A and B are shown apart, each in its own frame.
Chain A
Amino acid sequence: DGGITQSPKYLFRKEGQNVTLSCEQNLNHDAMYWYRQDPGQGLRLIYYSQIVNDFQKGDIAEGYSVSREKKESFPLTVTSAQKNPTAFYLCASSNRQRSYGYTFGSGTRLTVV
C-alpha cells in the first residue's frame, strides 16, 4: 500500500548533536512537508518542497535543514542550532494540485537530553 514512512518512531539525542529524521513516500507525490508539533499547540511548518532539488522555509526553519535529492525522500536534520528541539515531528506529502489532500506519516518523537 502507498504511504509515508517516518523513522525512527522515537529518537533520543544528546544536546549539541545533529540528528536526521527520515521521511519516505511511495505515493508519487510532488510536494513534501515537515511539521513540528508541541504539546497543546497546532502544527507548525518547518520546510516544504514542491519538486526535487527545491525547498522553501516555513514558519520555523531556524535550526533545521532539509534536502530533496529524490522525489520519494525528504530528510530533516535538526541541528545543534535549534534551541528547543524536543518535539514531535510529522512529515506529509501531497500531489502538486493538492486536489486529494495530504497524507501524513506516523511521526517521530525526538527527545534531546
Chain B
Amino acid sequence: KNEVEQSPQNLTAQEGEFITINCSYSVGISALHWLQQHPGGGIVSLFMLSSGKKKHGRLIATINIQEKHSSLHITASHPRDSAVYICAVSTVDSNYQLIWGAGTKLIIKP
C-alpha cells in the first residue's frame, strides 16, 4: 500500500462544477503539499499546509491531521484548471524527502 494515496485517479467535469480531490496518508508528516503539473510538465506549488485550511483564489486546501486526510477543492472550475494535481508529504522522519501521491488528472470541459 502506498504511503500517500490520491483519489480519484482521473476526473472529468464540466466548466463551473465544484471539484474535490482527496489525499490520504499513513505516515507522520510535518507538512502536506498540493502541487499542479500542466501538460508541459512543469510543476507549480499550490499549497503547503500542516493544519486547518488555506485559500488562494478559487482553490481551497484543507487538512485533518487526526484523520490523516487532505482535500483540494476548486470552485467554479474552468478549462484552464485542467492539469494533474499531486499531493505530497514531508515526513517527520526525513527532513528532505517528499513522499508523492500518483496524482489526479483533472479535465474540465467547456
Contact = CB atoms under 8 A, between A and B. Distances in A.
Q: Real complex partners, A and B?
A: yes
A42 B31 contact: no
B81 to A, nearest CB: 18
Given A42-B86, A98-B31, A98-B90, A104 B101 contact: no
B42 interface: yes
Contacts of A101: 31, 33, 45, 48
A107 B41 contact: yes
Interface of A: 31, 33, 37, 40-45, 48, 50, 56, 58, 88, 90, 92, 98, 100-107, 109
18 contacts: A43-B86, A43-B98, A43-B100, A44-B100, A45-B97, A45-B98, A56-B96, A58-B97, A88-B41, A98-B31, A98-B90, A101-B45, A104-B43, A104-B44, A105-B42, A106-B40, A107-B40, A109-B41
Contacts of B100: 42-44
B96 A31 contact: yes
Interface of B: 4, 31, 33, 35, 40-45, 48, 86, 88, 90, 95-98, 100-103
Pick the 5 closest A-B CB pairs, nearest first: A42-B100, A106-B42, A104-B43, A101-B48, A107-B41
Nearest to B105: A40
Given A41-B102, A98-B90, A50 B96 contact: yes
B96 A33 contact: yes
B42 A107 contact: yes
A43 B98 CA distance: 9
A37 B88 CA distance: 14
Nearest to A103: B45
A50 B97 CA distance: 12
B33 A42 contact: no
B47 to A, nearest CB: 8
Contacts of A92: 43
A110 B32 CA distance: 29
A42 B96 contact: no
Nearest to B99: A42
Nearest to B97: A45
Nearest to A107: B41
